[in-house]
């Protein structure tokens, strides 16, 4: 599986443009996924020197990505879109935030990555208490 992984808030705590503390189990989980032959791409807003710092941080902790902000290392980003052809994206900005890394690993290992869902009861809890039906966006 090709997995795109964000950096700030996903591998390390948000301290952008600095590098925050490592999020527990993030690096170990990603290294284990690589050992299981998943291809990891670093997918981050960081560019230039800030991207190099993130790559160096990961490599100094034993994590080497297949590519950075690209589908493959040689991709010409001046003509290619930044749309990745990844099977899964791990990002703290997902709906619901970043799940626990243990849950992420188990979902991928059990081939349930796309089946991580929120309980409807949790999402509708406020509406159930108020007697409203359907989704409440306001």
All structural domains of the chain, each given as residue ranges with its CATH number in brackets, are 2-130 (3.40.50.1000)
Question: What pTM was computed for the model?
Answer: 0.79
pLDDT over 90, % of the chain? 59
CA distance 9 to 23: 8
Task: Give 90's Cβ-side CA count (13 Å radius).
Answer: 30
> What digits encode the pLDDT tens for the residues 85-113?
999 999 999 867 888 898 888 888 887 76
CA distance 41 to 54: 13
Beta pairing class for 67-68 and 88-90: unpaired
């Amino acid at each position: 599986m090709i997995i795109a992984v964000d950096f700030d808030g996903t591998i390390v705590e948000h301290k952008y443009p600095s590098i925050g503390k490592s999020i527990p189990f993030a690096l170990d989980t990603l290294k284990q996924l690589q050992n299981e032959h998943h291809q990891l791409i670093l997918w981050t807003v960081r560019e230039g020197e800030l991207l190099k710092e993130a790559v160096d941080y990961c490599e100094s902790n034993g994590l080497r990505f297949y590519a950075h902000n690209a589908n493959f290392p040689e991709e010409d980003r001046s003509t290619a879109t930044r749309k990745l052809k990844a099977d899964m994206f791990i990002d703290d900005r997902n709906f619901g935030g970043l799940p626990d890394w243990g849950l992420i690993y188990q979902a991928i290992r059990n081939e349930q990555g796309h089946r991580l869902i929120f309980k409807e009861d949790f999402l509708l809890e406020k509406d159930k208490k108020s007697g409203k039906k359907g989704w409440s966006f306001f």
